[in-house]
């Protein structure tokens, strides 16, 4: 098994404990409502046997699309990261004429976990200019390593506002718990597709 380094590891909560704590949280403002929803989506992903990551696309205060990680379930799909699924939904809606292409620059993508290299690259090429996430992904996130991107993508990063979503710290804690939940087992499934 591959060994990944994590910052201070907190005791892992069970999924039922995470769900209970999430239900106890009262989303008091718009940012907390978005944080609450991406945590619900991340919980749903993890309960389904996938990585605990959820994301949504919104414009102003309206959620337009949402998705949960689906890399393993219902079928194995290495590209089924929450952000990738969202971009598929958005681009299909634009292709059908439901939204004008220029609306893309007005969107915000909110994710429970910092986007990985694959997702960040596609987000930068999509035209979405605001990306918010609840917690950094130290072993796999790319926003915090933007200086390591190829020059063309570093240039695109300059057109994009990528930030940690300012929300109730409990949502960040829950997002981190969900991102780390069952990580060893999930990494093993990634390495050995027969599992």
β-sheet with 108-113: strand ranges across: 62-68, 54-59, 108-113, 130-135, 161-164
Task: For the chain, state the CA radius of gyration.
Answer: 16
Catalytic residue among 20, 83, 136, 185: 83
Identify whether the C-beta of residue 118 lies closer than 8 Å to the C-beta of residue 84. Answer: yes
83 has catalytic annotation: yes
Whether the ω angle into residue 74 lies within 30 degrees of 0, i.e. cis, is yes
What is the DSSP annotation of the chain? ------SSPPPPPPHHHHHHHHHH----SHHHHHHHHHHHHHHHHHHTTS-S-EEEEEETTEEEEEEE--SSSSS--TT--HHHHHHHHHHHHHHTTSS-GGGGGG-EEEEEE---HHHHHHHHHHT--EEEEEE--TTT-SGGGGGGS-HHHHHHHTT-EEEE----HHHHHHHHHHHHTTHHHHHHHHH-TT-
- Residues annotated as catalytic (active site), given as ranges: 83
């Amino acid at each position: 098994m591959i060994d990944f380094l994590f910052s201070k590891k907190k005791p892992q909560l069970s999924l039922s404990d995470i769900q209970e704590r999430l239900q106890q949280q009262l989303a008091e403002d718009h940012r907390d409502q978005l944080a609450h929803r991406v945590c619900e989506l991340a919980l749903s992903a993890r309960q389904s046997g996938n990585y605990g990551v959820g994301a949504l696309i919104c414009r102003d205060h309206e959620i337009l699309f949402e998705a949960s990680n689906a890399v393993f379930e219902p079928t194995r799909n290495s590209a089924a990261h929450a952000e990738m699924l969202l971009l598929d939904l958005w681009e299909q809606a634009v292709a059908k004429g439901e939204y004008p292409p220029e609306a893309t620059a007005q969107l915000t993508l909110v994710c429970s976990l910092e986007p990985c290299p694959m997702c960040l690259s596609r987000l930068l090429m999509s035209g979405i200019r605001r990306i918010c996430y609840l917690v950094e992904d130290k072993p796999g996130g790319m926003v915090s390593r933007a200086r390591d991107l190829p020059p063309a993508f570093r240039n695109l990063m300059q057109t994009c506002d990528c930030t940690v979503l300012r929300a109730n710290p409990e949502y960040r804690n829950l997002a981190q718990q969900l991102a780390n939940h069952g990580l060893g087992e999930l990494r093993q499934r990634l390495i050995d597709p027969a599992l």
